[in-house]
Amino acid sequence: MPIILSLLSLLPIVSLLGCLIGFKLSVPKAGAVSLAAALIVAFGFFGLTAFGLLVASLKALWLALFVSLIVWGALLLYHAMDDFGAVGVINKNISALAGDRFFAFVLLSWLFTGLLQGIAGFGVPAVIVAPILTALGYDPVKSLAAALLGHSWAITFGSMGTAFFVIQGITGIPETELGVPMWIFNTCAHLMTGAGVCWLYGGLDGLKKAPAYILPVSAAMAAAQYFTIRFGMYSLAAINASLAGLAVMFALYRLRAKDGRFGGFYKDKLNLFQALLPYALILALLLLFQFVPAGVRDAVAAAPDFPATETAEGYIVGAELGYNKIRLFSHPGFALFAGVAAACAVYRRAGVWDPGVFRGAAKKTLKKGVPATLALLALGNMSLVMMDSGMMYRLAKAAAEAAGRAYPLISPFIGVLASFLTGNNTNSNVMFGMFQYETAKELGVSGAVMAAAQSISAAVGCAIGPTLILMGAIATKQEGKESLILKKLLPCVLIIAFVMGIINFVLLN
């Protein structure tokens, strides 16, 4: 019976992948099919109650609102900036500054996304950078895939270290003990995601170009991150690594450039400063949010409380107090809408404001935003039904029991699986951080190393989260191409997880 339950637990995941990759369905349709599969298994075999389903659905509704604020804000910002000509000005200046298309692609999708992730996550790097790459003339599918993969190395230490502090708090491992293992796995992550971005750009030809940039830049990132961690500045580990990487990569490019001359900045009705100002304000706000006292952030926030639930089979889900708070002074969605307001002010001052153009941008946002929110509801319901019915825990436990002493080899895949379903490193750490730690204790190996493998592999796994893929697809006008993006990303993520498993096994033996 345990084997049958484990196999049944795979059904929603298999149906989701099958619909996306095999049948090439859109994310909303694939989400609906996989939700139906999850409900059948949860009610029929795991004892999910009607009350448990209600609580899981309300959690999914709140999560959809949480993410939709980011999606709608990013869509409105992009369409407003594009329709008023700001995106064109930015793109022409990027082309002028970085004439080498390989360099520009890697710089934006691997390092600039990492910097954005260091400040704020939840898909913000992909929805900002992927449209810029697409507008620069890069293949849209490759652009989004590269932005998703490229920013994933920074997720654990991103959002000012949110996921790192979550897994540290859950496991109780001292920060000083957890920091170095995290650094080892994170070094592997940014090195391999960099190589993956090069592969996405040009296949084998892209990989041949990779060492000249990826190796020295990754070395600089590793050094910057190591000293940041050693001095206990965990919340700055992704930001400092990104800044070091950007500096070294641009320096290498300028040294190798055949023509060092720069013909000046391009401007149209807007100049580069005016075009970039909304983005600059967003970054400034997201950074300033980190210094707002926690008490103030929590005072200007909204979050529901959810009661504990129990399945008929005895699986208990604890009560959730203040579930995924939407804070005015930390949620990226509010910074994005502030960016929209700044853009409008800039356009008025520059004399290019047209209410009709803005209404057109708002209509495009509405047209794309509603289907996105419905898809997020379906995916969120599927994930939460699997979690709250005990299906996810059953899968992880079965994997640990089957692998035995070889479990460190498959441990990263557990993190990837949870991130695939939730699209969130923090949620993956909440779900399986303690499980991975306890499994390490049973095996008599380092819990800190196992926890580090869990968190960094889960970060990379976010690249294939259907929620993030959907957000990026909508932002880059690729609705219906989610299966192509997933097919490009899946091999990269699985290879990275495999390498993480080998490193984990070596460190623990």
Is the confidence at residue 178, as pLDDT, over 70?
yes
pLDDT in tens, 186-206: 999 999 999 999 999 999 999
Of the pLDDT bands very low, low, confident and very high (cuts 50, 70, 90), residue 295 is confident
Is the confidence at residue 260, as pLDDT, over 60?
no
Q: CA-CA distance, 403 to 411, in Å (whole number)?
A: 10
> What is the token pair recorded at 249?
């990569």
Average pLDDT over residues 309-326: 89
Is the confidence at residue 262, as pLDDT, over 60?
no
Average pLDDT over residues 263-289: 81
Q: Which of 107-116, 416-425, 473-482 has the highest mean pLDDT?
A: 107-116
Chain-centroid distance of CA 38 in Å reads 24
Q: CA-CA distance, 421 to 375, in Å (whole number)?
A: 13
Of the pLDDT bands very low, low, confident and very high (cuts 50, 70, 90), residue 374 is confident
> Which pLDDT score is estimated for 244?
95
Chain-centroid distance of CA 327 in Å reads 19
The 3-class SS string of 121-148 reads CCCHHHHHHHHHHHHCCCCHHHHHHHHH
* Residue with more model confidence, 193 or 370: 193
Average pLDDT over residues 139-166: 88
Among 1-5, 322-326, 421-425, the range scoring the smallest mean pLDDT is: 421-425
Angle CA(319)–CA(322)–CA(328) in degrees, nearest 5?
Answer: 165
* Residue with more model confidence, 354 or 432: 354
Q: CA-CA distance, 413 to 460, in Å (whole number)?
A: 10
* Residue with more model confidence, 54 or 258: 54
Which of 110, 213, 18 shows the shortest CA–CA distance to 492?
A: 110
Give me the amino acid identity at 100.
D
* Burial class for 310, CB neighbours closer than 10 Å (0-12, 13-18, 19+): middle
Q: CA-CA distance, 418 to 437, in Å (whole number)?
A: 16
Strand 316-317 to 309-310 pairing: antiparallel
Contacts of 38 (CB under 8 A, 6+ apart): 11, 12, 381, 382, 385, 386, 389, 391
Which of 154, 185, 215, 32 shows the shortest CA–CA distance to 496?
A: 185
Give me the amino acid identity at 84.
F
pLDDT in tens, 403-428: 888 999 999 998 898 888 777 787 77
Round the average pLDDT of the chain to a whole number and report it.
87
Kindly report the number of other CB atoms within 10 A of residue 44's CB atom. Answer: 10
Among 136-150, 213-227, 276-290, the range scoring the smallest mean pLDDT is: 276-290
> What is the token pair recorded at 170?
């859950």
Q: Is 509 in a helix, a strand, or coil?
A: coil
* Residue with more model confidence, 120 or 409: 409
> Which pLDDT score is estimated for 310?
95
Q: CA-CA distance, 128 to 116, in Å (whole number)?
A: 9
Give me the amino acid identity at 286.
L
Of the pLDDT bands very low, low, confident and very high (cuts 50, 70, 90), residue 504 is very high
Of the pLDDT bands very low, low, confident and very high (cuts 50, 70, 90), residue 82 is confident
Task: Kindly state the percentage of the chain with pLDDT values over 90.
Answer: 40
Rg of the chain over all Cα atoms, to the nearest angstrom: 22
Q: CA-CA distance, 223 to 189, in Å (whole number)?
A: 14
Average pLDDT over residues 326-352: 87
Contact 507, 446 (CB under 8 A): yes
Average pLDDT over residues 476-505: 92
Q: Which of 164-173, 355-364, 476-485 has the highest mean pLDDT?
A: 355-364
pLDDT in tens, 449-471: 999 999 999 999 999 988 888 88
Is the confidence at residue 281, as pLDDT, over 90?
no
